[in-house]
Amino acid sequence: MDGTEQRHRPIALVTGAGRSAGIAASVVLTLAQRGWDVGFTYWTPYDERMPWGADPEAVTRLGDQAGAHGATTAAIEADLSDPGATAAVFEAVERELGPVTALVLAHCESVDSGLLDTSIESFDRHFAVNARASWLLIREYARRFRGPHGTGRVISLTSDATVGNLPYGASKGALDRITLAAAQELAHLGVTANAIDPGPTDTGWMTAEVKDAVLRSTPLGRLGHPQDCANLVAFLCSPEGGWINGQLLHSDGGLA
């Protein structure tokens, strides 16, 4: 691929790609394989305080793997709980790659707690990262989008978690509404907006008990994999996916 062809690759921004085992990393690689350049965000302090810990080599490895498919990438470490981070992320991607055509929101704050034991600090942090940052990212994307009518894409990854997962589930519910509003409010730009609920996905967080429960509840008899969601994201980003708009899509193998 020569430099002229490289410059004509569309550009995606994928948030939350700090772990090789995560859905966001699969999205980055799948889009790279299908002809996109990709900017992606990560936030190491979040992974450091989670049970799985940080993956220090993940960002470099992801960039190398995407590059092997002909993609140019830009990795941006960003604390999305900071309202000022969103403009800085777009500026970095535009500076290194160019204007963003597709925005994929795969970042999250996720700490288990219920109605009685969720702290105010945790509740506020979940909404700051999962809802407010997503709104600000979509708003920044819309303000900057200049692509041909019908080419723009906003895709968010959501969840129907509730019991014992109150701040995560509630903030993801807010994300749904923000995304579906974008499908109507960004109509003048020709941008589609959809939310994907991938269901329980095996990214390294499941205990043996959780895996067993998911297997028993899923008609297809297997766990969800990051690639399952990445395939749907790539389809929605394609011209063939352009007629799907304003939808909350359950891509979970028919989980009961």
Residues forming the active site: 168
Distances (CA, A) of 15 to 27, 133, 142: 10, 10, 16
Residue tagged 């996109």 (tokens): 36
Cβ atoms within 10 Å of 30's Cβ, excluding its own: 23
Rounded to 5 degrees, φ, ψ at 199 are 70, -175
Q: Are 205 and 233 in contact (CB under 8 A)?
A: no
Rounded Cα–Cα distance for residues 243 and 236 (Å): 9
